[in-house]
Amino acid sequence: MATEQLTIDRAKSAERIGRDIETLAGPDYTLSDEAIRRYAYTHVYRNTLDYFIRELEALDFEVYEDPVGTLVARNRPAGEKVFGVGSHCDSNRNGGRYDGTMGVVTALEVCRLNRELELGLPLKLISFLEEEGSGFGQMLLGSRIVAQRVDEEELRESFRAVDDGRPFWEHAEEAGYEPGRWREAIHILDDLYGWIELHIEQARVLQDTANRIGIVNAIAGYVHADVTIHGRSDHAGATPMDFRLDAGLVAAECMLELERLAREAGGGTVGTVGEIELKPGLINAVPGEARFSLDIRGVDEDGFRSVARDIAAFAERVAGERGMTAEYAQRQALPSARLDGRIVGALETAAEASGESYMTMHSGAAHDTMSIADRVPSAMVFVPCKDGISHSPEEDANPADAALGAEIMLNAIRMLS
Bridge partners (DSSP) listed for residue 127:
71, 87
- Nearest 5°: CA angle at 40, between 397 and 104? 35
Mean pLDDT of 251-272: 96
- At 91, give phi and psi (nearest 5°): -135, 165
Question: What's the CATH code of the domain at 285?
Answer: 3.30.70.360
- Among residues 224, 201, 368, the alpha carbon closest in space to that of 296 is found at 224
Distance CA 276, CA 162 (A): 20
Tell me the average pLDDT of the chain: 97
CB 18 within 8 A of CB 399: yes
Distance CA 219, CA 411 (A): 23
Work out the widest C-alpha separation in the chain, in whole angstroms.
80
CB 146 within 8 A of CB 372: yes
Kindly report whether the global pTM for this prediction surpasses the value 0.95: no
pLDDT score, position 2: 53
Domain that residue 259 falls in: 221-334
Asked whether residue 44 is domain-assigned, the answer is yes
pLDDT score, position 417: 87
Domain's final residue, options 334, 349, 377? 334
Task: Give the containing element (helix H, strand E) for 267.
Answer: none
Which residues, other chains included, contact 217 with Cβ-Cβ below 8 Å and sequence gap of 6+? 338, 339, 341, 344, 360, 361, 362, 379
Which residues, other chains included, contact 175 with Cβ-Cβ below 8 Å and sequence gap of 6+? 40, 41, 46, 69
pLDDT score, position 332: 86
Residue ranges of E strands in 207-357: 213-219, 221-230, 270-272, 276-279, 289-298, 325-334, 337-338
Which residues, other chains included, contact 264 with Cβ-Cβ below 8 Å and sequence gap of 6+? none
135 and 214 in a single domain? The answer is yes
User: What angle in degrees, to the nearest 10, is found between the helix axes of 101-116 and 43-57?
Assistant: 10
Distance CA 148, CA 372 (A): 10
Number of neighbours of residue 110 by Cβ within 10 angstroms: 26
Mean pLDDT of 146-161: 97
pLDDT score, position 68: 98
318 and 376 in a single domain? The answer is no
Bridge partners (DSSP) listed for residue 328:
227
380 and 293 in a single domain? The answer is no
> DSSP label at 67?
T
pLDDT band (50, 70, 90) for residue 1: very low
Distance CA 277, CA 284 (A): 16
- Among residues 147, 236, 152, the alpha carbon closest in space to that of 188 is found at 147
Q: What is the pLDDT of residues 302-350, one digit of tens each?
A: 999 999 999 999 999 999 999 999 999 999 898 999 999 999 999 999 9
24 and 167 in a single domain? The answer is yes
Asked whether residue 1 is domain-assigned, the answer is no
Question: What's the CATH code of the domain at 32?
Answer: 3.40.630.10
Q: What is the pLDDT of residues 187-225, one digit of tens each?
A: 999 999 999 999 999 999 999 999 999 999 999 999 999
391 and 410 in a single domain? The answer is yes
Distance CA 142, CA 131 (A): 6
122 and 241 in a single domain? The answer is no
107 and 168 in a single domain? The answer is yes
Asked whether residue 312 is domain-assigned, the answer is yes
DSSP 126-173: EEES-SS-TTTS-TTHHHHHHTT-S-HHIIIIISB-TTT--BHHHHHH
Please give the radius of gyration of the chain, using alpha carbons only, rounded to the nearest integer: 23
Using left for φ > 0, alpha for ψ between -120 and 50, and beta otherwise, residue 133 falls in left
- Is the peptide bond prior to 399 cis by the omega test (within 30 degrees of 0)? no
The number of angstroms, rounded, from the C-alpha of 192 to the middle of its chain's C-alpha atoms is 21
Asked whether residue 51 is domain-assigned, the answer is yes
pLDDT band (50, 70, 90) for residue 267: confident
213 and 294 in a single domain? The answer is no
247 and 388 in a single domain? The answer is no
Asked whether residue 4 is domain-assigned, the answer is no
Q: What is the pLDDT of residues 79-122, one digit of tens each?
A: 999 999 999 999 999 999 999 999 999 999 999 999 999 999 99
200 and 244 in a single domain? The answer is no
Domain's final residue, options 305, 334, 363? 334
268 and 392 in a single domain? The answer is no
Asked whether residue 247 is domain-assigned, the answer is yes
Q: How many distinct structural domains can be found in the chain?
A: 2
Number of neighbours of residue 274 by Cβ within 10 angstroms: 9
Domain's final residue, options 303, 334, 365? 334
123 and 195 in a single domain? The answer is yes
pLDDT greater at residue 1 or residue 355: 355
Distance CA 169, CA 273 (A): 31
CB 104 within 8 A of CB 129: no
Asked whether residue 2 is domain-assigned, the answer is no
